[in-house]
């Protein structure tokens, strides 16, 4: 460690141009002939300063308060010098001034955190997930300009009020392209993403405390929209004259009978249809969202759709199993199909996955553990969301229980009669 000489600290006054009888007080730090000056934002009148002692003259309250303040400042400047010395920093008059004023502390900002997160996580998170983080970033940009009149803030300024203000802003923000503001769960998703980025900042030691420590995300339980057997049959039996709509119908039905999400179905190749352990055709794939391996035995109706497009030159050229359409086109077409079939539900392409989980599998007695594997869920609790909505299944299970109880009652009576 270099052998630095202790700094020389001098308090002196300088007369501003605008005031003839007032003098501003300064501190001068000197090391090895190099100086750095600090304005102390204090002043004295003519005749109240002793240049030789570097102190205010007299016993007045004002003079005593100023001298006490200068003594405290002297100790603080020396403490800054000692901190730099203990940390092995290069010690100059300017370095001591910067440490004293806090100018040498690097305070990371919210935008720096977002940039770091998005840069490092691009290779880890899926494009769809990153797209959601970019959406949250846009909300934060608008909120900062609207609420704080700035493009960025330091992470140390994040607190409980910032979070609740941001929640209120999202709830009430209405985009010109959106029909209504974010739902409660949509708001919570944005806050969940902000929470994850803040947790990263805590782990990186960019901030000392977590502003979310007293905040609780409040998600609302929502029912999954799915098609009943009657509605599914209506779509199957309706023939559409427009080839484009007919293709959309087939892709949607294929998802209803396999449970594959849009992106997994879109990426499906012909070689992924193989003979399974039972000798029947299966689809072997991996969920894009979770990288979970999925093996789905193909039901007859799904096989029929594959057979329908087996000789399609465009599909064969792209090595797809069924038509690969854009998500926007599918969702737009499915809404037309639902309307034409008289189905008064908010139907999207993902409704097909919900339909597979409920109407096609759980309602027909497939165990929930099997359904969870078919859907590629990493947790059984995710699949249990679908099980909650099956009133029909609950009724059937209770009817089976009634039958068993009645059977036991009859057996008990018969046993009593035999003993008599």
Average pLDDT over residues 28-53: 90
Residue 388 confidence (pLDDT):
61
Q: Who has greater pLDDT, 94 or 175? A: 94
Chain-centroid distance of CA 271 in Å reads: 35
Q: Residue 180 above 90 pLDDT?
A: no
Residue 179 confidence (pLDDT):
61
Residue 21 confidence (pLDDT):
76
Instruction: Write the pLDDT tens digit of every residue in 114-158.
Output: 999 999 998 888 888 899 999 999 999 999 999 999 999 999 899
Average pLDDT over residues 181-187: 89
156 and 261 in a common domain = no
Read off the tokens for 42.
């204090």
Q: Give the domain range for residue 21.
A: 8-101
Average pLDDT over residues 271-296: 88
153 and 197 in a common domain = yes
10 Å Cβ neighbour count for 91? 21
Instruction: Write the pLDDT tens digit of every residue in 68-90.
Output: 999 999 999 999 999 888 888 88
Average pLDDT over residues 171-197: 87
- Based on the number of CB atoms within 10 Å of its own CB, is 257 exposed (0-12), middle (13-18) or buried (19 or more)? buried
DSSP result, 154-191: BGGG--HHHHHHHHHHHHH---TT-SSPPPHHHHHHHH
236 and 317 in a common domain = yes
217 domain residue, yes or no: no
234 and 304 in a common domain = yes
173 and 97 in a common domain = no
Q: Please give the Cα distance from 233 to 210 (Å, whole number).
A: 52
401 domain residue, yes or no: no
129 and 233 in a common domain = no
Average pLDDT over residues 16-45: 87
Hey, what long-range contacts does 155-162 have (CB within 8 A, 24 or more apart)? 155/107, 155/108, 155/109, 155/110, 155/113, 155/198, 155/201, 155/206, 155/207, 156/107, 156/207, 156/208, 158/110, 158/198, 158/207, 158/211, 159/211, 160/211, 160/214, 160/215, 162/211
37 and 89 in a common domain = yes
DSSP result, 83-135: HHHHTTPPP-HHHHHHHHHTTT----BHHHHHHHHHHHHTTTS-HHHHHHHHH
123 and 160 in a common domain = yes
Q: Please give the Cα distance from 214 to 20 (Å, whole number).
A: 55
Instruction: Write the pLDDT tens digit of every residue in 305-339.
Output: 999 998 888 888 888 888 888 989 999 999 999 99
Residue 389 confidence (pLDDT):
58
318 and 369 in a common domain = yes
191 and 314 in a common domain = no
Mean pLDDT, rounded, of the chain = 88
Average pLDDT over residues 32-36: 91
Percent of the chain at pLDDT above 90? 52
| Bridge partners, residue 49, by sequence | 56
Residue 333 is inside which H or E element, if any? Answer: helix 327-340
Chain-centroid distance of CA 338 in Å reads: 32
Tokens 């190749």 label which residue? Answer: 269
Asked whether the beta carbons of 220 and 326 are under 8 A apart, the reply is no
Asked whether the beta carbons of 198 and 211 are under 8 A apart, the reply is yes
399 domain residue, yes or no: no
Q: Which of 75, 101, 127 is the last residue of a domain?
A: 101
How many domains, the chain? 3
196 and 85 in a common domain = no
Q: Please give the Cα distance from 300 to 322 (Å, whole number).
A: 15
Average pLDDT over residues 285-299: 87
317 domain residue, yes or no: yes
Hey, what long-range contacts does 90-98 have (CB within 8 A, 24 or more apart)? 90/2, 91/2, 91/4, 91/31, 92/31, 92/34, 92/36, 93/7, 93/29, 93/30, 93/31, 93/34, 93/35, 93/36, 94/34, 94/36, 96/7, 96/29, 96/31, 96/36, 97/29, 97/36, 97/37, 97/38
Asked whether the beta carbons of 198 and 300 are under 8 A apart, the reply is no
Q: Residue 1 above 60 pLDDT?
A: no
Instruction: Write the pLDDT tens digit of every residue in 246-264.
Output: 999 999 999 999 999 999 9
Chain-centroid distance of CA 358 in Å reads: 28
Q: Which residues contact 25 (CB under 8 A, 6 or more apart)?
A: 11, 12, 13, 40, 42, 43, 44, 49, 66, 70
Residue 76 confidence (pLDDT):
93
Is beta strand 22-31 parallel, antiparallel or unpaired with respect to 34-45? antiparallel
Q: Residue 383 above 90 pLDDT?
A: no
418 domain residue, yes or no: no
Domain at 298, CATH number: 1.10.443.10
Chain-centroid distance of CA 218 in Å reads: 14
303 domain residue, yes or no: yes
Residue 420 confidence (pLDDT):
63
168 domain residue, yes or no: yes
68 and 188 in a common domain = no
């Amino acid at each position: 460690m270099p052998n630095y000489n202790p700094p020389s600290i001098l308090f002196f006054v300088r007369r501003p141009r605008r005031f003839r009888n007032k003098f501003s007080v300064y501190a001068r730090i000197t090391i090895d002939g190099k100086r750095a000056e600090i304005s102390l934002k204090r002043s004295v009148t003519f005749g109240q300063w002793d240049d030789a002692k570097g102190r205010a003259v007299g016993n007045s309250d004002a003079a005593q308060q100023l001298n006490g303040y200068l003594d405290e400042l002297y100790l603080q400047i020396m403490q800054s010098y000692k901190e730099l010395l203990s940390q092995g920093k290069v010690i100059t008059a300017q370095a001591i001034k910067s440490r004293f004023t806090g100018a040498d502390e690097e305070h990371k900002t919210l935008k720096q955190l977002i940039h770091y997160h998005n840069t490092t996580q691009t290779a880890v998170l899926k494009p769809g997930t990153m797209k959601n983080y970019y959406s949250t970033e846009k909300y934060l940009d608008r909120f900062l300009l609207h609420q704080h009149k700035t493009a960025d803030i330091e992470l140390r300024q994040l607190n409980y009020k910032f979070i609740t203000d941001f929640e209120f802003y999202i709830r009430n923000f209405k985009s010109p392209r959106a029909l209504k503001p974010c739902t409660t769960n949509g708001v919570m998703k944005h806050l969940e993403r902000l929470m994850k980025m803040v947790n990263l900042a805590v782990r990186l030691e960019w901030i000392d405390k977590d502003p979310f420590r007293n905040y609780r995300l409040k998600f609302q339980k929502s029912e999954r929209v799915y098609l009943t057997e009657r509605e599914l049959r209506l779509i199957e039996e309706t023939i559409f004259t427009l080839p484009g709509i007919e293709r959309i119908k087939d892709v949607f039905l294929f998802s209803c009978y396999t449970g594959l999400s849009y992106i997994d179905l879109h990426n499906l190749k012909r070689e992924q249809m193989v003979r399974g352990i039972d000798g029947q055709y299966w689809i072997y794939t991996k969920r894009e969202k979770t990288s979970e391996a999925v093996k789905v035995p193909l039901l007859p109706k799904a096989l029929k759709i594959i057979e329908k497009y087996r000789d399609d030159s465009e599909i064969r050229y792209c090595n797809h199993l069924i038509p690969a359409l854009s998500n926007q086109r599918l969702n737009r077409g499915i809404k037309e199909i639902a309307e034409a079939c008289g189905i008064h539900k908010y139907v999207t392409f993902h409704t097909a996955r919900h339909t597979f989980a409920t109407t096609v599998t759980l309602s027909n007695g497939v165990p929930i553990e099997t359904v969870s594997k078919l859907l590629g869920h990493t947790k059984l609790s995710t699949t249990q969301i679908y099980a909650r909505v099956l009133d029909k299944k609950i009724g059937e299970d209770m009817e089976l229980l009634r039958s068993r109880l009645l059977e036991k009652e009859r057996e008990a009576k018969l046993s009593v009669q035999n003993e008599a």
